[in-house]
Structure 1
Amino acid sequence: MNTPQTIVLSADKQGFFTVTAHGHTWRQDSSHRPCVRTKAGTLFFDQAQDISLAPYKTGLGAGYQLRYSGFPGSDAAFETLLWVDDATSRLHCLFVPLSLNEVVEVCWPAPMVADEPGSYAVVPYMQGYLLPTDWPQEAPKPPFNGQMCSSAAYMPWLGEITPKGGYLLHVTKPWDSAYDCLHPAGGPTRLSVRHLPSLGQMQDERSVTYQFTKPGSDYVTLCKLYRGMAEEAGLAVPLSAKGQRADGLDRLIGSSVLHVGIKTHISPDSAYYDQEHPEKNDEIIPFSQRADLVKQLTKAGAPRLYLHLDGWGEPGYDNQHPDYLPACEKAGGYPGLIALRETCRELGHLFGLHDQYRDYYFDAASYDPDNALMLADGTLFEFARWAGGWQNYLCPALSPHYLRRNYTELFRQGVTMDCVYLDVFTCNEPDECLNPRHRVTRKESLAHRLSCFDYMLAQGILPSSEEAIDWALPSLVFCHWAPYAQGGIPVPLFNLVYHDCVLIPWMLGKGSWGTPKGDLGFLHALLNAGMGYVADSLTGEAQKENLAQLKVLSALQTRLAHQQMVSHRFLSEDTRVQQATYEDGTTVTVDFNQETYEIKPPLEGV
């Protein structure tokens, strides 16, 4: 239960405010002038000729109401509301458009100043990282221009910790927001939010809240604060609840991921096309050969496997979506695909298909540009990077319909599965479409993606997608991975909030994408009690080592999948010795320098 704290708020007409909480006064960086960027130019708050500031009080709390108008050469007008919630002590910061046209973004509130020695930023870019205020390297630039609800921010919040206390900044409409983490080499750090228009216009409010914490708080404090918010919002749906919607979760827990493909075809238009060796652009591996691999790994002592099958459709991997059926004929067609599934089931393994409902390829059989996502300027986004060559994006309103069409046919052909992987939904930014026949806001695009996961659950199939992101957690069961950005000090912020809500696989070797440089991925998998990937190309002693690691991870995840990660801490000054503590009291300690680990209480039978 939150106990209200005394929060002292003051504001000025230039768009800045100060907050005193728990004895510490937070100030904003005055060099970051709040502004509204439009296609016609930038409107700085302090350029308004008519600015009013008045007390603001409701039955919920009190603060200030500011109104800005009279900008030179513009009829723009807007309000900001700053008020402290009497019940929660949260500071609410609302931007309210009154008359705004052609908005590009709203840059407000200005970043807080947290430059005291020992201070650090807390950034949920991918799994998460900490950024000390004097960190010697520049901060990593997040993908998708910092768009929230993407891999740039698995969770829609930012934070900073100082010796005198900290804050959690929560973005309440993250689908229409982005962020910046500015940190030149040596610091300091400035965290800020940018609010975006929807369907080319900004007609409703944008808001953030600040929750301030006491001296002695840390990044774990912020994660647990957000866990409470996520529970209130219905996002923190535990695995145990999802398991009631589809069978097979108990078998997926503790499984190891075997990720293999069937057909590769790389279009000459693709960025991956090999001009020098064109014969390498096409390959077909029979379904029966993949069945043999499953048998070989089982004989070698592999724990229970989850087979994630790429390239099973006739067009080949990343080609002609959403018209991906039938099963690849030269690989064995539907009979071969079904036989592979049966091999998995007979040996006690799980079987799943890789699929895609965002990339919309020009050479898909039913391609129609009217079904493509239309940008705010009326154009269709198009590019040629992936294996299938030229493409648009499919309007997200249509994705659930194509999904249902395809799986209706797969089921008719006798193709059933335990799991499914719907690519990119939990990695790429939210979409918006201006086509009047299927107009979609960013928020609605996420709802359409979520409905695809819900459809699979309704068929008794466990859904996964590329990364782990909290808007999807009401229905997402597992993901391809949720690793670290390359920057700052990696910490498992996402797992500190959501460990009991989603299963996350990890690459176990060194040098894999998302594994911190020089680190052994196996140790990160252990620390996070995750699933492991099978290195199916290994033989001999290397294969034995990989399978031994997988057995440890299987036992650990079986114990901890339904447990929250309650704490994470560094046991050495160089941060190389780390410990995670779970709800049942289990501790996992890893040493990245010595490449050793200790689990207490010890696992039995491994």
Structure 2
Amino acid sequence: MEIEYQNMKIKICERTLKIEIRYNETFWKSDSSYNPYFIENKQKYYLNEADIINHNKWENAIGIGIDTYFSGFGNFEKNYELMTRVWIEKNDKNVIFELIPIKEDEKISEICWPCHFEFEKKSQNWYTLINVQQGLLLPNTWENEFGMPFFDGQFCTSASYMPWYAQIKDGQGYLAICEQPWDAFYYVDHPAGGPYTHIGVRWVPSLGLMRYKRCIRMIFQENTDYTKICKKYKQYIKEQGKFITLKEKRIKLDVDKLVGAAIIHEGIKTSIANTSIFYDKNNIQNNYSLTTFEERKEEIINYSKLGLEKAYVHLDGWMQDGYDNKHPDALEACKEAGGWDAFRDFIKTLHDLGYAGGIHDQYRDFYFDAKSFSKEFACQNSDGNITVHQLWAGGKQSYLCASQVLPFVKRNYKNLEEHQIDLDGTYIDVFNCNEGDECYNYKHKMSRKECLDYRMQIFYYLISKGILTSSEEVTDWSLPGVVFAHYAPYNFMMYDQKAARNGIPVPLFNLVYHECVIIPWMMEKYKDEDYMLYALINGGIPYLKRESSYPNMDGCFGNDENLSLKERIKRCKIVMDLHKKVVYKELIKHEFIDNDYKKQKSVFSDGTEVEIDLNTNRFYIK
């Protein structure tokens, strides 16, 4: 069965369900060895083995397509029905894949449809674009296996800052946009050395059922590359009304406090509970540390004396119980560090120096020893229990249901106001990088999408209070409510510098969103690689100091060259000066020079050009 509209033709095999798409003279075919399926009670059922399969071709004013109806899957006691729709949107010739549940008497754990495309040629000109963190280009010839992405490839997390992927073969490519990403995962199959890369989508239930239509929108392009793919997605986001620039955010907030600033990330108190997996039984002294507000103040004053003109200070562990403890009850400034008076004086000092400051805050991790703790507030699993773990410093914890968060936020920030803590910004931990939660408590039942909406509500509330908002990383669902981030690194930066890399880093996120969010960049300098160059090529702001809250986490491994403070400030100034020029500008192009991925060039919309050479650790700004 086939449909055709102008230069687009689609064939579907009625027996195998394989799909072939021809765009002009380029063909994209389903992988012949892979069948669409769903999983129920750990058993896999293939769609082409349904008892009843009916195909129907249709055409109307806006499109032309093929519907396929499936019913009856052998061992099911009750029938299960669903429909797939593949159609061409006549206006712009996008191909839309729709998965539509009809009858759901059973709980399905996942559905994998449509199949990934064949992508088998061993060529560096055949490559896949993956939005793991800042972005990754994976050639079919890449020597390392891709492996398992963060969060098993769940969209709306650090595994995929943007809900799309793309493949390009000799300049011909497609962009696949997941239009309901909150209940979807991507998978990647790339063995060591290739010679292929397969990428596709797995759909998961929402509160136990598939419930609603799921869509993949494919946009096909000729003579394309990763920059053009990003610009096509940018156009799509603008059409959705979700593209909010820093200039627009500047209307409500003093964004300029962050423009051309260096980031200083440090803490006051650390106290690791003996129930935490980070608790060091052999070296008890490692479980506790304290730096007073006065000591931090003197440190900051010294930065100013050494010529640091502008900074934003991110303060961890400022509350009585220390970093990652007893959230959401951050209600008392650390007394041993000087209490509210010293905290207030610290913030005043920042402002006197022309610096800005904010705090670490947390409203997902829900600690059992917090006075506010109640299972009634926690996310309830489908079996009626709550998740319990003891990973972080505060020990035993669950997850606070996002639907319950806003009253805690209002309480805590009112408390800060009453103690005259004049914050410029705040960091709401993990909201952006971690997956959306589900909650089955009938009093506040919550889907993953609703969880993300509740998180956005927190960002909007803080903006209404004049506070610059940030979170751990960046995901485009949250960008309308976020001004800056903790970081948005390339994936390799989260591992030891010598670890094997799973592709070529490319700034996919910044090619779409550079003028929408301020991103701090790591500044470590290694013998054979200088991370400052990545800050420059991306037009971001620099980290002057970046303390790790836990050993060997968040990309902090402590094995870079030991530069003097003066040298680090000097390097920061280079990045800061560039940021002042390009912060509100679009990153219109990124490319590799002479096909060498270590030699890169960025072009911003004001004409600023940045070239870096990672072979020699040199850079050039025009």
Interval containing the TM-score (normalised by the shorter chain) = over 0.9
1:265-303 CA distance string (max 9 Å, x none): 000111111111112211221111111011000001113
Alignment of 1:294-373 (within 5 A): 294-373=300-379
Residue 71 of structure 1: CA displacement?
1.5
Partner of 2:453: 447
Residue 536 of structure 1: CA displacement?
7.7
What is the rounded CA distance, in whole Å, between the counterparts of 2:436 and 2:277 in structure 1? Answer: 24
What is the rounded CA distance, in whole Å, between the counterparts of 2:546 and 2:141 in structure 1? Answer: 42
Partner of 2:281: 275
What is the rounded CA distance, in whole Å, between the counterparts of 1:338 and 1:433 in structure 2? Answer: 38
What SS is found at the alignment partner of 1:411? helix
User: Relative to structure 1, is the Cα distance of residues 510 and 199 closer, same or farther in structure 2, using a 3 angstrom cutoff?
Assistant: farther
What SS is found at the alignment partner of 1:234? coil
**Paired residue for 2:26, among 24, 27, 30?**
24
What is the rounded CA distance, in whole Å, between the counterparts of 1:376 and 1:581 in structure 2? Answer: 50
Counterpart code for 2:215: S
What is the rounded CA distance, in whole Å, between the counterparts of 1:432 and 1:245 in structure 2? Answer: 32
Partner of 2:90: 86
Aligned-residue Cα RMSD (Å) equals: 1.6
What SS is found at the alignment partner of 1:410? helix
Counterpart code for 1:488: G
Counterpart code for 1:10: K
Q: What is the count of residue pairs matched by the alignment?
A: 590
Counterpart code for 1:227: K
Partner of 2:498: none
User: Relative to structure 1, is the Cα distance of residues 430 and 396 closer, same or farther in structure 2, using a 3 angstrom cutoff?
Assistant: same
1:34 aligns with 2:44: no
Q: Is the 8 A contact 1:16 1:109 kept in 2?
A: no
What is the rounded CA distance, in whole Å, between the counterparts of 2:182 and 2:536 in structure 1? Answer: 32
1:95 aligns with 2:79: no
Q: Is the 8 A contact 2:525 2:561 kept in 1?
A: no
Alignment of 1:161-240 (within 5 A): 161-163=168-170, 165-187=172-194, 188-214=196-222, 216-240=223-247
Residue 16 of structure 1: CA displacement?
2.3
Which 4+ residue blocks in structure 1 deviate beyond 3 angstroms? Answer: 535-541
Residue 30 of structure 1: CA displacement?
1.9
Counterpart code for 1:106: I
Percent pairwise identity: 37
Counterpart code for 2:571: Q
Partner of 2:556: none
User: Relative to structure 1, is the Cα distance of residues 146 and 275 closer, same or farther in structure 2, using a 3 angstrom cutoff?
Assistant: same
Q: Is the 8 A contact 2:276 2:395 kept in 1?
A: yes
Segment of structure 1 superposing worse, 335-344 or 564-573: 564-573
Q: Is the 8 A contact 1:423 1:466 kept in 2?
A: yes
What is the rounded CA distance, in whole Å, between the counterparts of 1:422 and 1:331 in structure 2? Answer: 23
Residue 436 of structure 1: CA displacement?
0.8
What SS is found at the alignment partner of 1:584? coil
1:553-595 CA distance string (max 9 Å, x none): 1111111011111111001333111001111111100001101
Counterpart code for 1:519: E
What SS is found at the alignment partner of 1:380? coil
Partner of 2:517: 502
Partner of 2:114: 109
Q: Is the 8 A contact 1:303 1:554 kept in 2?
A: no
Segment of structure 1 superposing worse, 227-236 or 333-342: 227-236
User: Relative to structure 1, is the Cα distance of residues 94 and 536 closer, same or farther in structure 2, using a 3 angstrom cutoff?
Assistant: closer
1:49 aligns with 2:51: yes
User: Relative to structure 1, is the Cα distance of residues 269 and 23 closer, same or farther in structure 2, using a 3 angstrom cutoff?
Assistant: same
Q: Is the 8 A contact 2:246 2:483 kept in 1?
A: yes
Q: Is the 8 A contact 2:53 2:71 kept in 1?
A: yes
What is the rounded CA distance, in whole Å, between the counterparts of 2:158 and 2:528 in structure 1? Answer: 22
Q: Where does the alignment leave 5 or more consecutive residues of structure 1 unmatched?
A: 512-516, 601-606
1:420 aligns with 2:414: no
1:12 aligns with 2:19: no
Residue 230 of structure 1: CA displacement?
1.1
What is the rounded CA distance, in whole Å, between the counterparts of 1:40 and 1:423 in structure 2? Answer: 34
Q: Is the 8 A contact 2:459 2:481 kept in 1?
A: yes
Partner of 2:565: 543
1:484-537 CA distance string (max 9 Å, x none): 1132001010001100000000110146xxxxx953110000000111111389
Residue 141 of structure 1: CA displacement?
1.8
Partner of 2:255: 249
Counterpart code for 1:199: L
1:357-377 CA distance string (max 9 Å, x none): 000001001110111111233
1:403-453 CA distance string (max 9 Å, x none): 111111111121120011000001101111111111111111111111111
Q: Is the 8 A contact 1:572 1:578 kept in 2?
A: no
Partner of 1:603: none
Q: Is the 8 A contact 2:524 2:561 kept in 1?
A: no
What is the rounded CA distance, in whole Å, between the counterparts of 1:12 and 1:459 in structure 2? Answer: 57
Partner of 2:439: 433
What is the rounded CA distance, in whole Å, between the counterparts of 2:600 and 2:404 in structure 1? Answer: 45
Counterpart code for 1:356: Q
What SS is found at the alignment partner of 1:386? coil
What is the rounded CA distance, in whole Å, between the counterparts of 2:246 and 2:349 in structure 1? Answer: 27
Partner of 2:590: 568
What is the rounded CA distance, in whole Å, between the counterparts of 2:134 and 2:42 in structure 1? Answer: 38
**Paired residue for 1:554, among 562, 576, 594?**
576
What SS is found at the alignment partner of 1:470? coil
**Paired residue for 1:155, among 159, 162, 174?**
162
What is the rounded CA distance, in whole Å, between the counterparts of 1:503 and 1:261 in structure 2? Answer: 22
Counterpart code for 1:142: P
Counterpart code for 1:115: E
1:406 aligns with 2:412: yes
Counterpart code for 1:200: G
Counterpart code for 1:91: V
Counterpart code for 1:177: A
Counterpart code for 1:120: Y
1:459 aligns with 2:465: yes
Partner of 1:397: 403
Q: Is the 8 A contact 2:171 2:225 kept in 1?
A: no
Counterpart code for 2:33: S
User: Relative to structure 1, is the Cα distance of residues 95 and 183 closer, same or farther in structure 2, using a 3 angstrom cutoff?
Assistant: same
What is the rounded CA distance, in whole Å, between the counterparts of 2:570 and 2:384 in structure 1? Answer: 55
Partner of 2:613: 591
**Paired residue for 1:527, among 524, 527, 537?**
537
TM-score w.r.t. structure 2 length? 0.93
Q: Is the 8 A contact 1:234 1:474 kept in 2?
A: no
Residue 539 of structure 1: CA displacement?
12
What SS is found at the alignment partner of 1:371? coil
What SS is found at the alignment partner of 1:222? helix
Partner of 1:139: 146
1:86-130 CA distance string (max 9 Å, x none): 111111101111123211011011001222332000101100111
Q: Where does the alignment leave 5 or more consecutive residues of structure 2 unmatched?
A: 493-501, 548-559
Q: Is the 8 A contact 2:266 2:545 kept in 1?
A: no
What is the rounded CA distance, in whole Å, between the counterparts of 2:252 and 2:381 in structure 1? Answer: 36
Partner of 1:581: 603
What is the rounded CA distance, in whole Å, between the counterparts of 1:519 and 1:539 in structure 2? Answer: 10
Q: Is the 8 A contact 1:535 1:543 kept in 2?
A: no
User: Relative to structure 1, is the Cα distance of residues 584 and 164 closer, same or farther in structure 2, using a 3 angstrom cutoff?
Assistant: closer
